[in-house]
Structure 1
Amino acid sequence: MSKMKLLAASALASSMVITGCASTGGVQVNDTTKKAGLGALAGALGGAAISKATGGEQTGRDAAIGAVLGAGVGAYMSKQEAKLKQQTAGTGIEVTRDPVTNNINLAIPEAITFDKGQYAIKSSSYNALNQVARTLNEYNQTQVVVNGYASVEGSAAFNQTLSQNRANAVARYLVNQSVAGSRISAIGHGATSKFGAAYEPNRRVEITIIAPQSVN
Protein backbone atom coordinates (compact mmCIF):
# COMPACT_ATOMS: atom_id res chain seq x y z
CA MET A 1 0.00 0.00 0.00
CA SER A 2 1.35 3.44 -0.96
CA LYS A 3 2.11 6.01 1.71
CA MET A 4 -0.77 8.22 0.45
CA LYS A 5 -3.27 5.34 0.62
CA LEU A 6 -2.01 4.42 4.06
CA LEU A 7 -2.48 8.00 5.23
CA ALA A 8 -5.99 8.13 3.75
CA ALA A 9 -6.99 4.92 5.47
CA SER A 10 -5.48 6.10 8.73
CA ALA A 11 -7.15 9.49 8.49
CA LEU A 12 -10.53 7.94 7.73
CA ALA A 13 -10.20 5.65 10.71
CA SER A 14 -9.23 8.62 12.84
CA SER A 15 -12.22 10.60 11.57
CA MET A 16 -14.55 7.84 12.68
CA VAL A 17 -13.18 8.18 16.19
CA ILE A 18 -13.32 11.97 16.08
CA THR A 19 -16.96 11.99 14.97
CA GLY A 20 -17.99 9.22 17.34
CA CYS A 21 -18.68 6.80 14.50
CA ALA A 22 -19.01 3.17 15.50
CA SER A 23 -20.27 0.41 13.22
CA THR A 24 -19.39 -2.63 15.31
CA GLY A 25 -21.93 -4.75 17.11
CA GLY A 26 -24.65 -3.90 14.58
CA VAL A 27 -24.70 -0.17 15.43
CA GLN A 28 -25.70 1.86 12.38
CA VAL A 29 -23.79 5.03 11.50
CA ASN A 30 -26.22 7.91 11.11
CA ASP A 31 -26.29 10.07 7.99
CA THR A 32 -24.65 13.09 9.61
CA THR A 33 -21.77 11.00 10.91
CA LYS A 34 -21.21 9.29 7.58
CA LYS A 35 -21.08 12.64 5.79
CA ALA A 36 -18.69 14.03 8.37
CA GLY A 37 -16.50 10.99 7.77
CA LEU A 38 -16.47 11.71 4.05
CA GLY A 39 -15.48 15.28 4.80
CA ALA A 40 -12.68 14.02 7.01
CA LEU A 41 -11.37 11.77 4.26
CA ALA A 42 -11.47 14.60 1.74
CA GLY A 43 -9.70 16.87 4.22
CA ALA A 44 -7.06 14.26 4.94
CA LEU A 45 -6.31 13.68 1.28
CA GLY A 46 -6.21 17.42 0.66
CA GLY A 47 -3.87 18.04 3.58
CA ALA A 48 -1.55 15.23 2.55
CA ALA A 49 -1.55 16.28 -1.11
CA ILE A 50 -0.74 19.91 -0.29
CA SER A 51 2.05 18.86 2.04
CA LYS A 52 3.53 16.54 -0.57
CA ALA A 53 3.22 19.09 -3.38
CA THR A 54 5.00 21.74 -1.36
CA GLY A 55 7.80 19.42 -0.32
CA GLY A 56 6.62 19.23 3.27
CA GLU A 57 8.12 16.70 5.60
CA GLN A 58 5.06 16.40 7.82
CA THR A 59 2.65 14.77 5.38
CA GLY A 60 1.14 12.51 8.02
CA ARG A 61 0.60 15.41 10.39
CA ASP A 62 -0.99 17.55 7.66
CA ALA A 63 -3.28 14.67 6.66
CA ALA A 64 -4.42 14.28 10.27
CA ILE A 65 -5.06 18.02 10.57
CA GLY A 66 -6.99 17.93 7.30
CA ALA A 67 -9.09 15.05 8.60
CA VAL A 68 -10.11 17.00 11.69
CA LEU A 69 -10.96 20.10 9.66
CA GLY A 70 -12.82 18.07 7.04
CA ALA A 71 -14.90 16.29 9.68
CA GLY A 72 -15.86 19.63 11.22
CA VAL A 73 -16.91 21.07 7.85
CA GLY A 74 -18.90 17.95 7.00
CA ALA A 75 -20.84 18.09 10.26
CA TYR A 76 -21.38 21.86 9.91
CA MET A 77 -22.84 21.54 6.41
CA SER A 78 -24.86 18.44 7.29
CA LYS A 79 -26.61 20.26 10.13
CA GLN A 80 -27.29 23.21 7.83
CA GLU A 81 -28.69 20.89 5.15
CA ALA A 82 -31.04 19.23 7.68
CA LYS A 83 -32.28 22.59 8.94
CA LEU A 84 -32.91 23.90 5.43
CA LYS A 85 -34.86 20.78 4.51
CA GLN A 86 -36.97 21.14 7.63
CA GLN A 87 -37.63 24.85 7.12
CA THR A 88 -38.48 24.60 3.41
CA ALA A 89 -40.55 21.40 3.60
CA GLY A 90 -43.68 21.68 1.51
CA THR A 91 -42.55 24.84 -0.32
CA GLY A 92 -41.33 23.17 -3.51
CA ILE A 93 -37.70 24.07 -2.81
CA GLU A 94 -35.38 21.10 -3.35
CA VAL A 95 -32.37 20.88 -1.00
CA THR A 96 -29.44 18.62 -1.89
CA ARG A 97 -25.83 18.35 -0.77
CA ASP A 98 -22.75 17.16 -2.61
CA PRO A 99 -21.08 14.53 -0.37
CA VAL A 100 -17.65 15.32 -1.83
CA THR A 101 -17.57 19.14 -1.78
CA ASN A 102 -20.16 19.51 1.03
CA ASN A 103 -21.77 22.34 -0.97
CA ILE A 104 -25.55 22.65 -0.53
CA ASN A 105 -27.83 23.44 -3.47
CA LEU A 106 -31.34 24.87 -3.21
CA ALA A 107 -33.40 24.67 -6.40
CA ILE A 108 -36.21 27.24 -6.31
CA PRO A 109 -38.73 26.81 -9.16
CA GLU A 110 -40.27 29.80 -10.91
CA ALA A 111 -43.77 28.70 -9.94
CA ILE A 112 -43.21 29.68 -6.29
CA THR A 113 -40.90 32.64 -6.86
CA PHE A 114 -41.78 34.56 -10.04
CA ASP A 115 -44.52 35.02 -12.59
CA LYS A 116 -43.64 33.75 -16.05
CA GLY A 117 -41.21 36.07 -17.80
CA GLN A 118 -40.87 38.25 -14.67
CA TYR A 119 -38.28 38.75 -11.95
CA ALA A 120 -40.26 40.44 -9.19
CA ILE A 121 -40.39 37.99 -6.28
CA LYS A 122 -43.89 36.78 -5.38
CA SER A 123 -45.02 37.64 -1.88
CA SER A 124 -46.10 34.01 -1.44
CA SER A 125 -42.42 32.98 -1.46
CA TYR A 126 -41.32 35.47 1.22
CA ASN A 127 -41.71 33.04 4.10
CA ALA A 128 -39.60 30.33 2.44
CA LEU A 129 -36.86 32.81 1.54
CA ASN A 130 -36.99 34.24 5.06
CA GLN A 131 -36.30 30.76 6.43
CA VAL A 132 -33.39 30.33 4.03
CA ALA A 133 -31.97 33.71 5.09
CA ARG A 134 -32.37 32.85 8.77
CA THR A 135 -30.35 29.66 8.27
CA LEU A 136 -27.68 31.48 6.25
CA ASN A 137 -27.32 33.96 9.10
CA GLU A 138 -27.01 31.17 11.63
CA TYR A 139 -24.43 29.31 9.53
CA ASN A 140 -22.51 32.40 8.52
CA GLN A 141 -19.17 30.84 7.57
CA THR A 142 -20.26 30.07 4.02
CA GLN A 143 -20.29 31.90 0.70
CA VAL A 144 -23.51 31.99 -1.32
CA VAL A 145 -23.94 31.93 -5.10
CA VAL A 146 -27.39 32.77 -6.51
CA ASN A 147 -27.77 31.31 -10.02
CA GLY A 148 -30.57 32.52 -12.28
CA TYR A 149 -31.97 30.53 -15.23
CA ALA A 150 -34.61 30.92 -17.93
CA SER A 151 -36.27 28.58 -20.45
CA VAL A 152 -35.43 28.63 -24.16
CA GLU A 153 -38.60 30.58 -24.95
CA GLY A 154 -37.75 34.09 -26.12
CA SER A 155 -34.48 35.51 -27.44
CA ALA A 156 -31.10 34.65 -25.99
CA ALA A 157 -30.56 38.28 -24.98
CA PHE A 158 -33.93 38.48 -23.21
CA ASN A 159 -33.31 35.22 -21.34
CA GLN A 160 -29.83 36.26 -20.27
CA THR A 161 -31.14 39.52 -18.85
CA LEU A 162 -34.12 37.79 -17.22
CA SER A 163 -31.92 35.16 -15.57
CA GLN A 164 -29.54 37.81 -14.22
CA ASN A 165 -32.41 39.93 -12.91
CA ARG A 166 -33.89 36.91 -11.13
CA ALA A 167 -30.55 36.11 -9.53
CA ASN A 168 -30.14 39.76 -8.51
CA ALA A 169 -33.66 39.88 -7.05
CA VAL A 170 -33.10 36.86 -4.81
CA ALA A 171 -29.64 38.11 -3.79
CA ARG A 172 -31.09 41.51 -2.83
CA TYR A 173 -33.87 39.85 -0.88
CA LEU A 174 -31.35 37.85 1.15
CA VAL A 175 -29.32 41.00 1.83
CA ASN A 176 -32.50 42.72 3.01
CA GLN A 177 -32.91 39.84 5.45
CA SER A 178 -29.48 40.69 6.95
CA VAL A 179 -27.36 38.18 5.02
CA ALA A 180 -24.03 39.94 4.45
CA GLY A 181 -23.72 41.16 0.86
CA SER A 182 -20.02 40.29 0.91
CA ARG A 183 -21.02 36.62 1.08
CA ILE A 184 -23.30 36.68 -1.96
CA SER A 185 -22.67 36.52 -5.71
CA ALA A 186 -25.45 36.62 -8.34
CA ILE A 187 -24.97 35.00 -11.75
CA GLY A 188 -27.40 34.83 -14.68
CA HIS A 189 -26.96 31.76 -16.87
CA GLY A 190 -29.49 32.59 -19.56
CA ALA A 191 -31.64 29.91 -21.16
CA THR A 192 -31.27 26.25 -20.29
CA SER A 193 -32.90 23.12 -21.66
CA LYS A 194 -31.83 20.89 -18.79
CA PHE A 195 -35.37 19.59 -18.35
CA GLY A 196 -36.52 19.79 -21.98
CA ALA A 197 -36.99 22.77 -24.26
CA ALA A 198 -39.74 24.80 -22.60
CA TYR A 199 -40.32 22.79 -19.45
CA GLU A 200 -41.12 24.99 -16.46
CA PRO A 201 -38.26 23.85 -14.13
CA ASN A 202 -35.84 25.53 -16.55
CA ARG A 203 -37.20 28.85 -15.26
CA ARG A 204 -35.71 28.83 -11.80
CA VAL A 205 -33.17 30.16 -9.34
CA GLU A 206 -30.65 27.94 -7.59
CA ILE A 207 -28.76 28.94 -4.46
CA THR A 208 -25.44 27.21 -3.92
CA ILE A 209 -24.05 27.41 -0.40
CA ILE A 210 -20.28 26.95 -0.60
CA ALA A 211 -18.70 24.93 2.21
CA PRO A 212 -15.88 26.73 4.06
CA GLN A 213 -12.36 25.30 4.24
CA SER A 214 -12.71 25.03 8.02
CA VAL A 215 -15.15 26.06 10.74
CA ASN A 216 -14.55 27.95 13.96
Structure 2
Amino acid sequence: MMSRLSLLAAGASMVALGACTTPMGTTGGTAAVGTPPGGMSRAQQGAIAGAATGAILGAVRDSDGNNKARDAARGAIVGGLAGAAVGATLDAQQRALQSQIATPGVQVVNTGTTLNVVLPEGVLFATDSAAVSGPAQSDLLAVAQNLRQYPNSTVQVIGHTDSTGEAAYNLQLSQRRAQSVANILIAGGVQSQRIAAGGQGESQPVASNDTPAGRSQNRRVEIIIRPNR
Protein backbone atom coordinates (compact mmCIF):
# COMPACT_ATOMS: atom_id res chain seq x y z
CA MET A 1 0.00 0.00 0.00
CA MET A 2 2.69 2.48 0.98
CA SER A 3 4.75 1.70 -2.13
CA ARG A 4 1.73 2.52 -4.29
CA LEU A 5 1.21 5.75 -2.38
CA SER A 6 4.86 6.65 -2.87
CA LEU A 7 4.59 6.12 -6.62
CA LEU A 8 1.40 8.18 -6.76
CA ALA A 9 2.94 10.98 -4.74
CA ALA A 10 5.98 11.02 -6.98
CA GLY A 11 3.87 11.14 -10.10
CA ALA A 12 1.63 13.89 -8.79
CA SER A 13 4.70 15.83 -7.69
CA MET A 14 5.80 15.95 -11.30
CA VAL A 15 2.38 17.34 -12.24
CA ALA A 16 2.65 19.99 -9.54
CA LEU A 17 6.21 20.82 -10.57
CA GLY A 18 5.06 21.32 -14.11
CA ALA A 19 2.83 24.12 -12.88
CA CYS A 20 5.70 25.87 -11.05
CA THR A 21 7.32 28.72 -12.93
CA THR A 22 9.16 30.34 -10.02
CA PRO A 23 12.78 31.01 -11.04
CA MET A 24 15.49 29.23 -9.14
CA GLY A 25 17.67 31.05 -6.64
CA THR A 26 17.17 34.36 -4.87
CA THR A 27 18.40 37.91 -5.10
CA GLY A 28 19.13 40.60 -2.56
CA GLY A 29 21.73 41.64 -0.05
CA THR A 30 22.08 38.19 1.49
CA ALA A 31 21.17 36.07 -1.51
CA ALA A 32 23.49 33.23 -0.57
CA VAL A 33 21.72 32.70 2.74
CA GLY A 34 19.02 30.06 2.61
CA THR A 35 19.43 29.28 -1.12
CA PRO A 36 18.00 25.80 -1.76
CA PRO A 37 20.50 23.02 -2.47
CA GLY A 38 20.77 21.49 -5.92
CA GLY A 39 19.26 24.51 -7.70
CA MET A 40 15.69 23.57 -6.77
CA SER A 41 13.43 26.48 -5.89
CA ARG A 42 11.36 26.56 -2.71
CA ALA A 43 8.23 26.35 -4.85
CA GLN A 44 9.47 23.08 -6.33
CA GLN A 45 10.49 21.71 -2.93
CA GLY A 46 7.10 22.68 -1.54
CA ALA A 47 5.35 20.95 -4.42
CA ILE A 48 7.14 17.68 -3.70
CA ALA A 49 6.52 17.83 0.06
CA GLY A 50 2.90 18.85 -0.42
CA ALA A 51 2.26 16.12 -2.96
CA ALA A 52 3.64 13.42 -0.67
CA THR A 53 1.57 14.64 2.26
CA GLY A 54 -1.53 15.07 0.14
CA ALA A 55 -1.24 11.54 -1.27
CA ILE A 56 -1.15 9.99 2.19
CA LEU A 57 -3.98 12.14 3.53
CA GLY A 58 -6.05 11.52 0.43
CA ALA A 59 -5.83 7.78 0.92
CA VAL A 60 -6.33 7.87 4.68
CA ARG A 61 -9.40 10.10 4.33
CA ASP A 62 -10.85 8.04 1.47
CA SER A 63 -14.58 8.76 1.51
CA ASP A 64 -15.91 5.78 -0.40
CA GLY A 65 -13.44 3.11 0.64
CA ASN A 66 -13.29 1.80 -2.93
CA ASN A 67 -10.65 3.81 -4.73
CA LYS A 68 -7.81 4.79 -2.43
CA ALA A 69 -5.43 5.13 -5.38
CA ARG A 70 -7.65 7.74 -7.03
CA ASP A 71 -8.12 9.67 -3.78
CA ALA A 72 -4.39 9.52 -3.05
CA ALA A 73 -3.60 10.94 -6.48
CA ARG A 74 -6.14 13.72 -6.07
CA GLY A 75 -4.74 14.55 -2.63
CA ALA A 76 -1.20 14.57 -4.01
CA ILE A 77 -2.07 17.03 -6.77
CA VAL A 78 -3.92 19.38 -4.41
CA GLY A 79 -1.18 19.13 -1.79
CA GLY A 80 1.55 19.66 -4.39
CA LEU A 81 -0.02 22.82 -5.75
CA ALA A 82 -0.60 24.17 -2.23
CA GLY A 83 2.99 23.42 -1.25
CA ALA A 84 4.27 25.11 -4.40
CA ALA A 85 2.25 28.23 -3.61
CA VAL A 86 3.70 28.43 -0.07
CA GLY A 87 7.24 27.91 -1.39
CA ALA A 88 6.84 30.61 -4.02
CA THR A 89 5.50 33.04 -1.43
CA LEU A 90 8.47 32.36 0.86
CA ASP A 91 10.87 32.99 -2.02
CA ALA A 92 9.22 36.32 -2.84
CA GLN A 93 9.05 37.40 0.79
CA GLN A 94 12.69 36.51 1.35
CA ARG A 95 13.80 38.62 -1.60
CA ALA A 96 11.73 41.54 -0.34
CA LEU A 97 13.18 41.28 3.17
CA GLN A 98 16.73 41.12 1.88
CA SER A 99 16.19 44.33 -0.07
CA GLN A 100 14.55 46.10 2.88
CA ILE A 101 17.05 45.29 5.66
CA ALA A 102 20.05 47.60 5.55
CA THR A 103 22.21 46.53 8.53
CA PRO A 104 25.13 44.16 7.79
CA GLY A 105 25.10 40.95 9.80
CA VAL A 106 21.34 40.37 9.70
CA GLN A 107 20.50 37.04 8.06
CA VAL A 108 17.29 36.01 6.30
CA VAL A 109 17.18 32.22 6.17
CA ASN A 110 14.58 30.44 4.05
CA THR A 111 14.08 26.92 5.44
CA GLY A 112 11.38 25.99 2.96
CA THR A 113 8.65 26.12 5.61
CA THR A 114 9.61 29.32 7.48
CA LEU A 115 11.58 32.51 7.05
CA ASN A 116 14.00 33.13 9.92
CA VAL A 117 15.34 36.64 10.41
CA VAL A 118 18.41 36.36 12.66
CA LEU A 119 19.54 39.57 14.34
CA PRO A 120 22.82 39.51 16.31
CA GLU A 121 22.92 41.15 19.72
CA GLY A 122 25.49 43.66 18.45
CA VAL A 123 22.95 44.94 15.92
CA LEU A 124 20.11 45.19 18.42
CA PHE A 125 21.32 45.91 21.93
CA ALA A 126 24.05 47.28 24.10
CA THR A 127 25.59 44.80 26.53
CA ASP A 128 23.14 43.69 29.24
CA SER A 129 20.38 45.87 27.76
CA ALA A 130 16.95 45.19 26.26
CA ALA A 131 16.65 48.66 24.64
CA VAL A 132 16.75 48.35 20.83
CA SER A 133 19.29 50.59 19.09
CA GLY A 134 18.18 53.27 16.63
CA PRO A 135 19.51 51.61 13.44
CA ALA A 136 17.97 48.28 14.46
CA GLN A 137 14.61 49.95 15.02
CA SER A 138 14.66 51.03 11.36
CA ASP A 139 15.34 47.46 10.26
CA LEU A 140 12.58 46.11 12.50
CA LEU A 141 10.13 48.62 11.07
CA ALA A 142 11.13 47.36 7.61
CA VAL A 143 10.38 43.82 8.79
CA ALA A 144 7.02 45.05 10.08
CA GLN A 145 6.26 46.57 6.69
CA ASN A 146 7.13 43.25 5.05
CA LEU A 147 4.85 41.38 7.44
CA ARG A 148 2.02 43.73 6.54
CA GLN A 149 2.65 43.02 2.86
CA TYR A 150 2.51 39.28 3.58
CA PRO A 151 -0.24 39.02 6.21
CA ASN A 152 -0.95 35.29 5.91
CA SER A 153 1.54 34.15 8.55
CA THR A 154 2.26 33.96 12.26
CA VAL A 155 5.43 35.28 13.87
CA GLN A 156 7.57 33.99 16.73
CA VAL A 157 10.17 36.29 18.28
CA ILE A 158 12.72 34.32 20.28
CA GLY A 159 15.58 35.76 22.33
CA HIS A 160 18.83 33.88 22.97
CA THR A 161 21.94 34.55 25.08
CA ASP A 162 25.33 32.95 25.60
CA SER A 163 26.16 31.01 28.76
CA THR A 164 27.98 33.83 30.55
CA GLY A 165 26.40 34.60 33.93
CA GLU A 166 23.48 33.01 35.74
CA ALA A 167 21.09 30.93 33.66
CA ALA A 168 18.02 32.43 35.32
CA TYR A 169 19.18 35.97 34.57
CA ASN A 170 20.01 35.05 30.98
CA LEU A 171 16.53 33.61 30.51
CA GLN A 172 14.94 36.79 31.83
CA LEU A 173 17.15 38.98 29.63
CA SER A 174 16.31 36.93 26.52
CA GLN A 175 12.60 37.28 27.29
CA ARG A 176 12.84 41.05 27.72
CA ARG A 177 14.79 41.38 24.48
CA ALA A 178 12.28 39.29 22.55
CA GLN A 179 9.44 41.40 23.88
CA SER A 180 11.24 44.62 22.94
CA VAL A 181 11.57 43.39 19.35
CA ALA A 182 7.94 42.25 19.27
CA ASN A 183 6.79 45.64 20.58
CA ILE A 184 8.51 47.41 17.68
CA LEU A 185 6.88 45.06 15.15
CA ILE A 186 3.50 45.80 16.73
CA ALA A 187 4.24 49.54 16.72
CA GLY A 188 5.03 49.11 13.02
CA GLY A 189 1.50 47.93 12.34
CA VAL A 190 1.71 44.14 12.72
CA GLN A 191 -1.35 42.76 14.50
CA SER A 192 -0.41 41.70 18.02
CA GLN A 193 -2.36 38.44 17.71
CA ARG A 194 0.04 37.31 14.99
CA ILE A 195 3.06 37.60 17.28
CA ALA A 196 4.29 35.41 20.13
CA ALA A 197 7.43 36.48 22.00
CA GLY A 198 9.58 34.45 24.37
CA GLY A 199 13.13 33.77 25.47
CA GLN A 200 15.27 30.64 25.52
CA GLY A 201 18.16 32.08 27.48
CA GLU A 202 21.33 30.07 26.94
CA SER A 203 19.56 26.78 26.14
CA GLN A 204 19.79 26.86 22.31
CA PRO A 205 23.34 27.81 21.28
CA VAL A 206 24.28 27.76 17.61
CA ALA A 207 28.02 27.88 18.32
CA SER A 208 30.47 27.04 21.10
CA ASN A 209 30.30 29.21 24.20
CA ASP A 210 34.02 28.53 24.75
CA THR A 211 35.14 31.28 22.36
CA PRO A 212 34.25 34.98 22.03
CA ALA A 213 33.17 34.43 18.41
CA GLY A 214 30.88 31.58 19.40
CA ARG A 215 29.33 33.51 22.27
CA SER A 216 28.68 36.42 19.90
CA GLN A 217 26.74 34.13 17.56
CA ASN A 218 24.67 32.78 20.44
CA ARG A 219 23.56 36.25 21.54
CA ARG A 220 20.76 36.89 19.06
CA VAL A 221 17.05 37.38 18.46
CA GLU A 222 15.26 35.29 15.84
CA ILE A 223 12.06 36.34 14.09
CA ILE A 224 10.45 33.17 12.72
CA ILE A 225 7.78 33.80 10.08
CA ARG A 226 5.54 30.78 9.52
CA PRO A 227 3.03 30.87 6.64
CA ASN A 228 -0.53 29.78 7.40
CA ARG A 229 -1.53 26.76 5.32
Q: TM-score range by the shorter chain?
A: 0.7 to 0.9
CA RMSD of aligned residues (A): 1.9
1:45: which partner in 2?
52
What is the TM-score when the length of structure 1 is the normalising length?
0.87
Q: Which amino acid aligns with 2:51?
A: A
How many pairs are equivalent?
A: 204
Between the aligned partners of 2:44 and 2:102, the Cα distance in structure 1 is 27
CA deviation map 1:138-191 (0-9, x unaligned): 001011000101111111111010000011111111011010111111120011
Give the drift of 1:89.
4.5
Matched position secondary structure for 1:59: helix
Between the aligned partners of 1:7 and 1:175, the Cα distance in structure 2 is 44
2:125: which partner in 1?
114
The answer on 1:78 being equivalent to 2:78 is no
Give the drift of 1:14.
1.1
1:10: which partner in 2?
11
Q: Which amino acid aligns with 1:196?
A: S
Does structure 1 conserve the Cα–Cα contact (< 8 Å) formed by 2:10 and 2:52?
no
Between the aligned partners of 1:138 and 1:194, the Cα distance in structure 2 is 30
5+ residue gaps, structure 1:
22-28
Percent identical residues: 33
Does structure 2 conserve the Cα–Cα contact (< 8 Å) formed by 1:146 and 1:170?
yes
Give the drift of 1:196.
2.1
1:149: which partner in 2?
160
5+ residue gaps, structure 2:
27-39
The structure 2 residue matched to 1:61, chosen from 65, 70, 74, is 74
1:96: which partner in 2?
109
Between the aligned partners of 1:122 and 1:90, the Cα distance in structure 2 is 12
Q: Which amino acid aligns with 2:163?
A: V
Does structure 1 conserve the Cα–Cα contact (< 8 Å) formed by 2:13 and 2:52?
no
Between the aligned partners of 1:90 and 1:170, the Cα distance in structure 2 is 15
1:24: which partner in 2?
none
Equivalences for residues 156-167 of structure 1 within 5 A: 156-167=167-178
Matched position secondary structure for 1:175: helix
